[in-house]
Amino acid sequence: MAQQDSADSNLKGLRVMVIDDSRTIRRTAETLLAREGCDVVSATDGFEALSKIADHNPQIIFVDIMMPRLDGYQTCALIKNNQTFKNVPVIMLSSKDGLFDKARGRIVGSEQYLTKPFTRDELLGAIRTYVNA
């Protein structure tokens, strides 16, 4: 196990935000990312996330599409329209693997689309693709 830890030590201290109304998804992502040394902040919906983003200044954001109050598309659009955070990579999370959903995610500015349930490798792969840790 120690060998695996050293391989991913470049993620140590990386600030990651996970926005999902599913406690299970948040827990899974938090556990996987914390194990890699990431500093994880989670939010249950877009409103909570927007209030936390300024405080925590995440380097990458994972956001669920289907959420109450403010969905993932709206949340992503608000993040991308903010001068301070527009360059932060946003990865959409969804249980639907539809072409329309992926296209809509791109339109609002997301970098990538992961289908739930995601694997450890998918999660870390997205981080490595978009964050120069």
Which pLDDT does position 2 carry in this prediction? Answer: 39
Report the share of the chain in percent with pLDDT over 90.
Answer: 83
**6-10, 48-52, 53-57, 79-83: the lowest-pLDDT one:** 6-10
Which pLDDT does position 5 carry in this prediction? Answer: 41
Q: What is the CATH number of the domain that holds 51?
A: 3.40.50.2300
Q: How far is CA 63 from CA 7, 26, 32, 44, 116, in A?
A: 26, 10, 16, 10, 11
pLDDT-derived band at 10, boundaries 50, 70, 90: confident
- DSSP H or E stretch at residue 115: strand 112-115
The answer as to whether 31 is a domain residue is yes
Rounded mean pLDDT, 61-74: 95
What is the signed CA dihedral for 96, 118, 14, 77, rounded to 10 degrees?
Answer: 0
Domain count, the chain: 1
Please give the backbone phi and psi of residue 62, each rounded to the nearest 5 degrees, phi first.
-105, 125
Give me the chain's average pLDDT, please. Answer: 91
The answer as to whether 50 is a domain residue is yes
